[in-house]
Chain A
Amino acid sequence: MRAVSDSLVIMKRQLLQLTRVPEVLIFNTIQPVMFVLLFRYVFAGLGAGIKGGYVQLLMPGIFVQTVTFTLAATAQGMAQDMEKGLIDRFRSLPISRAAVVTGRTLGDGLLNIVVIAVMGTAGFLVGWRPTSGLLKIGLGFLMLLLFGYALSWAGIFAGLIAKDARVVANISFLFTFPLTFLSNAFASTTSMPKPLQYVAEWNPVSTMVAAVRQLFGFHNMFGVTKNSFPSTHPIQTSLIYMVLIMGIFVPLSVQRYKNTNK
Chain B
Amino acid sequence: MKSVIAENLVKIYGKGDRQVKALDGLSLDVEEGTVLGVLGPNGAGKTTTVRVLATLLKPDSGHAMVGGIDVIKNPKQVREIIGLSGQYAAVDETLTGWDNLVMFGRLYHLSSTAANARAKELLEQFSLTDSAKRPIKTFSGGMRRRLDLAASLIIRPKVLFLDEPTTGLDPRGRMEMWKVIEGLVDDGVTLLLTTQYLEEADQLADDIAVIDQGKVIARGSSDQLKTQIGGERLELVVAEADIAQAKEIADRVGKTTSSVDAGLRKISTPVSTGGNALVELLRELDLAKIHPLDIALKRPSLDDVFMSLTGHSAEAAEVADEEKLDPKAKSKKGGRP
Contacts and interface: CB of A to CB of B under 8 A. Distances in A.
Interface stretch (A84-92, A230-238, A245-253): A84-92
A83 B335 contact: yes
Contacts of A10: 107
A30 interface: no
A92 B94 contact: no
Contact of A163 (B56, B79, B91, B331): B331
Interface in B32-86: 51, 54-58, 76, 79-80, 82, 84, 86
Given A20-B135, A92-B84, A85 B56 contact: no
A10 B90 CA distance: 15
Interface in B97-116: 99, 103-104, 106-109
A9 B107 contact: yes
A261 B80 contact: no
B88 interface: yes
A237 B94 CA distance: 40
B58 A262 contact: yes
Contact of B86 (A12, A16, A83, A88): A88
Contacts of A9: 103, 106-107
Given A88-B56, A92-B79, A164-B335, A20 B88 contact: no
Interface string B151-167: 10000000000000000
Nearest to A12: B103
B255 interface: no
B20 interface: no
B95 interface: yes
Contacts of A89: 84, 86, 90-91, 104, 151
Interface in A128-166: 163-164
A20 B107 contact: no
Contacts of A170: none
A228 interface: no
A21 interface: yes
Contacts, number: 78
A93 B86 contact: no
Interface in B108-131: 108-109
Given A20-B99, A261-B56, A261-B57, A86 B94 contact: no
A86 B93 CA distance: 10
A194 interface: no
B44 to A, nearest CB: 18
A17 interface: yes
A170 B46 CA distance: 34
A1 B216 CA distance: 43
Given A16-B95, A92-B55, A84 B103 contact: no
A2 interface: yes
B240 interface: no
A92 B54 contact: yes
A163 B328 CA distance: 10
Interface string A1-36: 010011001101100110011000000000000000
Interface string A212-224: 0000000000000
A16 B103 CA distance: 10
B180 interface: no
A10 B99 CA distance: 12
A91 B135 CA distance: 23
B307 to A, nearest CB: 32
B56 A91 contact: yes
B107 A86 contact: no
A7 to B, nearest CB: 10
B109 A85 contact: no
B99 A84 contact: no
A12 B100 CA distance: 11
Contacts of A90: 107
B92 interface: yes
Highest count of chain B CB atoms <10 Å: which of A10, A84, A89, A95 = A89
27 contacts: A2-B109, A13-B103, A20-B95, A85-B88, A85-B332, A86-B90, A86-B91, A89-B84, A89-B86, A89-B91, A89-B151, A90-B107, A91-B56, A92-B54, A92-B56, A93-B79, A93-B104, A93-B107, A93-B108, A94-B80, A94-B108, A94-B109, A163-B331, A164-B335, A261-B328, A262-B57, A262-B58
The 5 closest A-B pairs by CB, nearest first: A89-B90, A85-B90, A94-B79, A92-B84, A9-B106
Interface of B: 51, 54-58, 76, 79-80, 82, 84, 86-96, 99, 103-104, 106-109, 135, 151, 328, 331-332, 335
Interface of A: 2, 5-6, 9-10, 12-13, 16-17, 20-21, 83-86, 88-95, 163-164, 261-262
Given A20-B96, A261-B328, 14 more contacts: A5-B106, A9-B103, A13-B95, A17-B92, A83-B332, A83-B335, A86-B92, A88-B86, A89-B86, A89-B91, A89-B151, A91-B56, A92-B54, A93-B107
